[in-house]
Every structure is written in C-alpha cells, then in structure tokens.
Structure 1
Amino acid sequence: MRFRNSLAIGPAVLAMLTVGGCTSTIGGTASPVPGQGPVVTKAEPCELLTQEHATALGVTYPGEERAAKPEQKVPAVCRFRKLEDVRKASNLEVSLSKDLSLNDYMSGAQPGEKFGLGGFTWTRYATILGPTYCSLSTELTPDSFVEIASESPDHTEGNACELAKAAAPAVASKLPGGQQDPQITAPPGQKPAEPGGPLVTTDPCAMLKPEQTAQLRLGPTGEPLKSTSDPNVVGCEWADTDGDKGEKPFDLWFYPAKPMDEVPTLITQGEPQDFDSGDRKWKLYTESGGKLCAAGLSITATSTVAIIAGNLDDPAKACEVIKAAVPLLNGNLPPSS
C-alpha cells in the first residue's frame, strides 16, 4: 500500500515538516452533511491563517507557499515555520486542494482518529513517516480538501498532533461554514515562556555578600550584566583576584523565561551531571579538557539560574569555585518551586 502526503513526496520535502501519530480524541461539531459541503473559495493555503492566528499558535507569519503539482497529485501547501528562539516547537503546514479528491491524494492510506474542530470533522491518516508525525484532513467537496500537518517537537508519539489540532479551528474559521472567532491556544512549549517567578524581582548582584565573595577569592561587589540578545536576562559578574591567569571572573545569570534545557550558556557546555547541594538539585556542565565550567538550577519550570566560571591555567580546577559557591548561593537565591 502506498501512503501519500504533501510532506512525503521527495527527499527535499521529507526534510521538512511531515505527518503522523496522535493519542487522544477531542470532541467537536460534526462535518457538513455529505453533498452540502461549503463551496471552496479561491483562497490559497497561506491565507488560511491570519497574523493573529499565527501569533497565537507560535509560528512565523507570513507562511511560505509551495505551488500545487497536479501531475503528482500534490495540492498547494503553505509552511509556517516555528519561532527561532523556541527549541521544543513544531513547524505547521496547511494544504488546500481545489481540484483533487481526498481519496486520490491519500492513495489508499487508512483513516484513523477523527476530531471535531471548528465545525468540521478532521481525520488522521497513517503515513510512512511514522507516529511522530501528524496529518489531519477534512473533505470540503468531492474534489477538494484541506490538510493540516505538524510533528512531535520531541520526537515522541504523544504530542505529534497537538499543533495541528490547535490550528484546526483557526483554519476552519477561514473556510465557508467554519465557526468564527475561535479561541486559539498554542500547545505547551510552542511559544516562548513569559518572564515570571521570583527571578523577575531579584537582584543577581545581591546573591553573594562581601564576606562570601572573600571566601571564594572574588572581588567584594559584583558588576551588573545585561544580555545583548534577551532583555529579560540579567546577571552579575564578580572579578577574580589572581590576575590575568588562573581563575576566571564568576558570572551569575538569571533567565526568568527559559527552562534549564534551553539556556544557551548551559547547553553549549555539553551533557550535565547531577550536583546536589543541600535540598537544591543543580546541574553541573563541564567540557572534557575545557577551561570553563557551568552550573544551572531550576527556580520554576520556566526560569533558571546559571553560573559560568573556570580556570585558564588548570582545567582540572575549572569547577572548583562553582562547587564552593553553590552552598553559599543556596541560602540567598529564591526557593525553587
């Protein structure tokens, strides 16, 4: 049996967003009565999402359209890319056929789960691309249909359909007979987190007191830092006291809108190790033979404290000041939740 899909017709397209698995069915209204479906307008697939819809879904706007290929039985498709600063997100594709039946397009693929969304019934079809991809289609007339496709952002089966389902009411609202003014909510992780938690109102330079920095052989007061790429990220740097070599300055950063596994100053340092101190569960990041060391602590699910330090002369001592500083920081940092 040959499974067709606009995202599975060639190597170049295979590298892009494709379709597959979903695990839950949600209620909704039924599709139009057969033979009484809406008349297809001349709207192209990129017009089936508005700027407002794209913003709510956490995808870029406008979309990128690829023309239909009638000789290959492929409809026009519009790709809305995920936002650049969100790692665990999915791309979204919307296809619109005006002269190709859904049966011909699917070419024998078996229908699966059905979802009532936005006034239409959307059917999930199996594909050769596996359960981490999701394709939802609804037939408009015997010779026209709309397809919405998304993928699992973490390559698992359970959330492959989440973005496609979230987008379906928005797409339906642009079709004749679709429910208007839908409430659109992006799946968890699709959009950047909003700054929140205690780090928003905490001064990073107050996290080490002068008597504590003396124990760490650092300067008594820290110098405020600001990220050049994210205005929500602030930090503090304490100078080392051993000259141009040896210990590096000690940098403490607050990320009030990023989980630990998305903090760039941490994930570039390699795989972390557990580093428990008191009742705090830190992660320690070290590079083999490297001169830098980093540590991270989750304050909330979407806010993180990060430390960067190191030793220019002796890589074996790169993490010494961090390990000594963590017990001191534990009593000054806001509690984790």
Structure 2
Amino acid sequence: MRWRIAAVVAAAGLAGACTTTVSGTPQPAPGRITVAPASSTDPCTLLTTDEAAELGLGPGTPIPAQPRQRVPPGCDWRSLDPDAGLDDSLQAYYGTDQTMEEYFAAQPVGEKQLGGITWQHYSSIMGDWLCNLAVKLGETEFVVLTGQNLGDETKSCVVAERAAPVVAKHLPQR
C-alpha cells in the first residue's frame, strides 16, 4: 500500500514539474499577421496573412524606407502562383513625412471608388506594367498600393484593385 501512495505522489510531482505558467499574451507564429493593429503605420499590417492568402498572395515582407529617394517604408506580397514571378504581386507604401503630391510629382490619371473610399490612380514612370493606387490620409500621410504585370499591362491594376477594399478596412478613420 505504501508503495502505491509513493507512486501516486511521485507521479503527481512529475506531472507538476512538466507544467509551467508563462506570462504574456499568446502571439501567432512569426511572420503571421492575423489582426492589424489599430492606427499602425506599418504597411505590412494593411493586409493580414489570411486576407493576403484570400487574394492569392503570400505573407508580407517589409521593404525598408529609402529616405534619399523619398520612398516610404513598404511591404511586398508575392503571388502564391509559382509561375507568376513578379506578376500579380502587390506592394504597399505608407508615407508619413511628405505629401502625396510630392511623392508622385505628377497628377493622377483617374480615380476609383474601392472599399468606400476614393483612390487616385497614378501612372508609373517605369511604364504601364505598374499600377499605383493612392489615398491621402492627412496632409503628409498617404498609402500607395502598387500592382504589376509585365506579361499583360492591361492586368497591372487587377491585384491592387482587389486589395484596395480590404486595405481600406485597415486605414485610420478620419
């Protein structure tokens, strides 16, 4: 009988030694964004990982700012299609230190209503294979979505236009 009691006490001691209370808040796996933080200027929070996947895109990869070229920080989502290359990828840039007009140094070529907001469509100096949709959030705050398709210029805006309503949900309310 004593050995049974000793065995139960030993088993309880071993089970207790295997459990640990960890403080903090549970987080998703690294690189997986499931909820965009409120009021973030991190361009990679403009699409969650699940939203990107629904658009046929992989997880976002940060693009460092290039202050000398006046390019704000960005995020790059590549197509999940292994044959797409750079086609059908999406980049987002979140500017906070210059006006949208200074960034583009050009007039928009049109506008589109997507996700309940008006996006300005800007031509790219690189060619029509790039599509820029931009929205002004403040005097020196703006977001640019850039889509591209080298194979078919008429499809350069497809991914950006599909992403714009989703991104609009994550933009700060003004």
Task: Return the TM-score normalized by structure 1.
Answer: 0.38
Identity in percent: 33
Alpha-carbon distance change, 71 to 114 in structure 1, aligned in 2, over 3 angstroms: same
Determine the C-alpha separation between the residues in 2 that align with 1:53 and 1:144.
Answer: 24
Alpha-carbon distance change, 138 to 93 in structure 1, aligned in 2, over 3 angstroms: same
Alpha-carbon distance change, 43 to 110 in structure 1, aligned in 2, over 3 angstroms: closer
Q: Which digits, 9 at most, give the CA deviation of each residue in 1:125-157, with x for residues without a partner?
A: 12221222101101000101000001125233x
Question: What is the alpha-carbon root mean square deviation over aligned residues?
Answer: 2.0
The residue correspondences of 1:140-289 to structure 2 (distance < 5 A) are 140-152=137-149, 154-156=151-153, 158-177=154-173
Q: Which has the higher helix share?
A: 2
Which consecutive unaligned segments of at least 5 residues does structure 1 have? 1-39, 179-337
8 Å CA contact 1:90, 1:153 repeated in 2: no
Q: Partner of 1:111: helix, strand, or coil? A: coil
Determine the C-alpha separation between the residues in 2 that align with 1:57 and 1:124.
Answer: 20
8 Å CA contact 1:92, 1:148 repeated in 2: yes
Q: Which digits, 9 at most, give the CA deviation of each residue in 1:91-116, with x for residues without a partner?
A: 11011012221011112x22112011
Equivalent position of 2:16 in the other structure? none
Q: Which digits, 9 at most, give the CA deviation of each residue in 1:189-214, with x for residues without a partner?
A: xxxxxxxxxxxxxxxxxxxxxxxxxx
Determine the C-alpha separation between the residues in 2 that align with 1:167 and 1:92.
Answer: 8
Equivalent position of 1:95 in the other structure? 93
8 Å CA contact 1:90, 1:151 repeated in 2: yes
The offset of 1:58, in angstroms, is: 0.4
Determine the C-alpha separation between the residues in 2 that align with 1:144 and 1:86.
Answer: 35
Q: Partner of 1:53: helix, strand, or coil? A: helix
Q: Which letter does structure 2 place at the counterpart of 1:174?
A: H
Q: Which letter does structure 1 place at the counterpart of 2:93?
A: S
Determine the C-alpha separation between the residues in 1 that align with 2:168 and 2:78.
Answer: 20
8 Å CA contact 1:119, 1:177 repeated in 2: no
The offset of 1:162, in angstroms, is: 0.8
Determine the C-alpha separation between the residues in 1 that align with 2:158 and 2:127.
Answer: 16
Which one scores higher on RCO, CA 8 angstroms, separation ≥ 6? 2
Q: Partner of 2:92: helix, strand, or coil? A: strand
Q: Partner of 1:103: helix, strand, or coil? A: helix
Equivalent position of 2:62 in the other structure? 65
The offset of 1:87, in angstroms, is: 3.4
Task: Return the TM-score normalized by structure 2.
Answer: 0.71
